[in-house]
Structure 1
């Protein structure tokens, strides 16, 4: 299954990278981002592995938990669209 990453998710990932850069922990940030991307790649073979996002109660809007983040994605018939990579303690908003 094809995976697409929305601009909003790219922006979220850039924000994560920037946070670790500002904390002088670039290596940790790079490793963390790599693990998030690897987690996202599992969706190609297992698109329904994530749970339905409770705030939206729509079977097409799902999430993977990658502590402390929620990887929110839209599950379509032949594709996955990563929408947000959002800190779990924040109120979720979609673009």
Structure 2
């Protein structure tokens, strides 16, 4: 079973998503954030379930999709690093520069 570690970037992204949704409904925001977390927790059992990030092309940089959000992670041995979470309409350019 893989271990999940969150980067500061990913934690900030998750908080920002929750804050944005909470402007309309704090209750829905909490449910949505919990569902994102639950989708990430599944990576502990199935770390290769995400696809390779097309912008990276590296086998170790993968992503899962939750609704319209891309959850990008790196896989190193038995450790998963959650790198960022962002809306699919946005560009991954900044992250790609950091991981290449």
Q: What's the TM-score once normalised by structure 2's chain length?
A: 0.90
1:12-65 deviations in whole A, cap 9, x for unaligned? 011011101222x11111100000000000000100000000001000000000
More helix by share: 2
Matched, 1:86 2:86: yes
- Gaps spanning 5+ residues in structure 1: where? none
Distance in 2 between residues matched to 1:19 and 1:74, nearest whole Å: 26
Does the 8 Å CA contact 2:22/2:28 hold for their aligned counterparts? no
Aligned counterparts of 1:73 and 1:61: Cα–Cα separation in 2: 6
| Aligned counterparts, 1:56-75, within 5 A | 56-75=56-75
Residue 2 in structure 1 maps to residue 3 in structure 2:
yes
Distance 1:10 1:22 in 2: 19
Q: 33-42 or 14-23, which moves further after superposition?
A: 14-23
Question: Per the alignment, in what secondary structure is the counterpart of residue 13 of structure 2?
Answer: helix
For structure 2, the 5+ residue unaligned runs are none
Deviating above 2 A after TM superposition, structure 1's stretches of 4 or more consecutive aligned residues are: none
How far is 1:67 from its partner? Answer: 1.3
What is the aligned-residue RMSD (CA, Å)? 0.9
Distance of 2:36 and 2:18 partners within structure 1: 12
